[in-house]
Amino acid sequence: MSAGEELPLAGIKVLELAQMVAGPSAGLLLADYGADVVKVEPPQGDGGRLLRSLAAARLPDSPVFVGYNRDKRLIRLDLRSPEGRERVLRLIDEADVVIEAARPGVMERLGLGADELLDRNPRLVYASVSGFGRGPIGRTKGGVDIVVQAESGIISTTGYPDRPGTKIGFTAVDAACGHALCHGVLAALFRRERTGRGDVVRLSLYDVALHLQTGPLTEFLMTGVQSPRAGNSAPLTAPADLLRCADGAIIVSAYLDSHWRAFTAAIGAPELLDDPRFTDGVDRARHRGELVELIEKRLAGGSVAEWVARLLEVGVLVAEVKDYAAVVADPLAAESGLLREVGEERGVASPVRLERTVERPLRPRRELDAVEFRG
């Protein structure tokens, strides 16, 4: 980024009363836009501190917690105590945004619900995320990413047709929820600039999960047919599949007729063009198993690197299937600039680029005690 305007949310104060991933993800995105984010943890700490894989079991800090809480100031307060609640209310008096992710009704019982806080600070944007919403059914259900993936149909569409459904390999709904909550907050702040009034932004993991499935859910509403699990294939056409080479796997997406013709020529299989099973994308998807078998026989004679280079040369959409080690070592990741130093650690930067805005380095979280903290 070149030197220019300061970050767009410079001077905006955000009070984060959320734990785990979805709410903190929104706070992180707002911090990347320049907001001053103060995170209030319970006395025992954010539950995200406990989210560790076996690989991270011996690390001093949870990578999930580290990743979603950089560029924030952290303080632990007991919202159930009069002292802790009073201190939070003083912070709310100066805040522009509050983010909370408690079960419906919890914040109201603490005297920190939306109505109470907007009465106290009418310019406040109150951002709330729940598992399943505040309706009579949703408010009774606790929701985390894997549970919401099950309830929303995501698991039913993910995996292979001859096996039980599977979850997405990371907390996709939580992460998407952070983005949705962030842009809801930005919309409310934009309107506040015109009206002077705050607002309440509410969403649920369940609603975000449904919206992520706009395409297949709309198809079901129109046809009544459940989307089949397609494994590592894009179900709407073929070849759009994971294909095995001599030393690994590639993804090819040759769904346009021009791509299909270029692909068959590149792999030395022009006869596929005249095969009645593969006349168009629908026919190729219908006979996907036979098509993939024929293609992989050709690909077995070359390496991933060879096939990627050859297919890119003729304009076919192709990519090596990479693990995280390959991603981190890839010059493309270095070019993107998203995997960056955070103090003495490393983290992931915001994907949003404001090219005429002053860039600042990613900063580690600052954990403050009650004496150090001044709001």
**Catalytic machinery residues:** 174
* Rounded Cα gap, residues 333 and 338, in angstroms: 7
- Give all strands (DSSP E) within 124-198, no chain letters: 125-130
* H/E run at residue 313: helix 304-313
DSSP three-state, residue 353: coil
* Rounded Cα gap, residues 45 and 40, in angstroms: 9
Q: Dihedrals φ, ψ of 192, to 5°?
A: -60, -35
DSSP three-state, residue 99: strand
**Distances in Å between the alpha carbon of 83 and those of 39, 46, 86?**
17, 19, 5
Contacts of 185 (CB under 8 A, 6+ apart): 26, 30, 97, 99, 125, 127, 201
Q: Is beta strand 366-367 parallel, antiparallel or unpaired with respect to 345-348? A: unpaired
Contact assessment for residue 183 and residue 190, using Cβ atoms and an 8 Å cutoff = no
Q: CB 372: neighbour CB atoms within 10 A?
A: 10
